[in-house]
Homo-oligomer: A and B are copies of this chain.
Amino acid sequence: MQTVGFIGLGAMGAPMAENVADAGYPLVVYNRTRSRTEPFAERGETVADSPAEVAERADSVVVMVTDDEALEGVLDGDDGLLAGLTSDTTVIQMSTVTPAATEAAAEAVRDAGGRYVDAPVSGTVGPAEEGTLTVLAAGPEALLDSVEGILAAIGEPIVDCGAVGDGARMKLFVNLLLGDMMGAFAEALAFGTSQGLSYDDMLAVVEAGAVDSPLYSIKGENIADGDFEPRFPVDLQFKDLRYAVDEANDAGVPLPQTAAARETFSATSGLGHGEEDMAAVVKFFENVAGLSVGERES
């Protein structure tokens, strides 16, 4: 069984790495803040001192970091992943980055002799823990087959999105929709609250209709509970809306609702809620319209 490197043990990365370990793969882990590697050391996995060391010791290396800059930080430098790559190593890039960043990373990895899979995931901490993330895999088919066991440990379905870059594009597609839906839900709830409708009735009507969605069931409960623990923070969703609108701008595709959502997330972040869960966009409307959304009947 191949040894799997894992770089990036954040809120998403840690449970993903655990699932890979649970599937029987020996791990070599690295995290910039070293304390986050401790649970892995305790269960007997190897802790590396640098991305380069991970690359040297592993057959495949999963990278799960925050953004374009963090990915570059992992790859470059004397201690970077590229420095440690051997010709047999496959880099599985699972962070949410721009298509340009993943394509640049792929080229750098191939130039360094390695192989590259573009495989961001869709889903939040819950699905990461349960191993039910949607894996947006892209790359040569034979290469995808060779890491299928690792991907299957992390999520399902595994959707084959095409060539390198298409995974990142699919991630933008789905997160564009996610951000728009969250913003739309907040607008609808603010509207209904201003009209004197019962919050529980609104949720019941949503769940009974064509607009029903797991997103609304989860965020509807969270808002009622005043629970804005960051499963997926405002600032990360905001970043994805920025990426998506930028790509669409390059393509000449107007996205008026998405652009409006982007501004709502911008304002929510500006109001100081950037690190809270994306459901906190409702606070923008509460602030502006003097409303209290989510009050349940006693």
**When each residue 121-142 of chain A gets 1 if its CB lies under 8 Å from chain B and 0 otherwise, what string results?**
0111000000000101000000
| Residues of chain A in range 131-184 having any CB-CB distance to chain B below 8 Å | 134, 136, 157, 159-162, 166, 169-170, 172-174, 176-178, 180-181, 183-184
Interface-facing stretch out of A6-14, A85-93, A240-248: A240-248
Assess the B242–A266 pair: CB atoms within 8 A: no
Is A40 engaged at the interface, CB distance under 8 Å to the other chain?
no
Is A188 engaged at the interface, CB distance under 8 Å to the other chain?
yes
* Chain B residue contacts of A249, Cβ below 8 A: 238, 242, 262, 266
* Chain B residue contacts of A291, Cβ below 8 A: 253
| Residues of chain A in range 190-238 having any CB-CB distance to chain B below 8 Å | 190-192, 194-198, 201-202, 204-206, 208-215, 218, 238
Is A1 engaged at the interface, CB distance under 8 Å to the other chain?
no
A271: contacting residue among B161, B214, B284, B288, CB under 8 A: B288
Assess the A254–B244 pair: CB atoms within 8 A: no
Is A73 engaged at the interface, CB distance under 8 Å to the other chain?
no
Is A95 engaged at the interface, CB distance under 8 Å to the other chain?
no
Distance (whole angstroms) from the CB of A244 to the closest CB of chain B? 6
Distance (whole angstroms) from the CB of A16 to the closest CB of chain B? 16
Distance (whole angstroms) from the CB of A274 to the closest CB of chain B? 8
Assess the B264–A252 pair: CB atoms within 8 A: no
Given contacts A123-B210, A208-B159, A267-B289, contact A257 B197 (CB under 8 A): no
Distance (whole angstroms) from the CB of A154 to the closest CB of chain B? 13
Is A100 engaged at the interface, CB distance under 8 Å to the other chain?
no
Query: From A268, which residue of chain B is reached at the shortest CB distance?
Result: B252
* Chain B residue contacts of A201, Cβ below 8 A: 159-162, 170
Is A287 engaged at the interface, CB distance under 8 Å to the other chain?
yes
Given contacts A188-B173, A249-B242, contact A288 B267 (CB under 8 A): yes
* Chain B residue contacts of A247, Cβ below 8 A: 191, 195
Distance (whole angstroms) from the CB of A83 to the closest CB of chain B? 25
Assess the A173–B187 pair: CB atoms within 8 A: no
- Starting from the known contacts A166-B195, A270-B288, 11 additional A-B residue pairs (CB-CB under 8 Å) come to A123-B209, A134-B205, A173-B192, A180-B184, A184-B257, A191-B244, A253-B285, A260-B260, A267-B288, A271-B288, A288-B288
Can you list 29 A-B contacts with CB-CB less than 8 angstroms, sorted by A residue number?
A122-B208, A134-B205, A134-B208, A134-B209, A157-B204, A159-B201, A161-B201, A162-B201, A170-B202, A173-B191, A187-B258, A190-B253, A195-B247, A195-B251, A210-B215, A210-B218, A211-B215, A212-B213, A238-B249, A242-B246, A251-B270, A251-B289, A253-B266, A254-B264, A255-B266, A259-B260, A259-B262, A267-B288, A288-B288
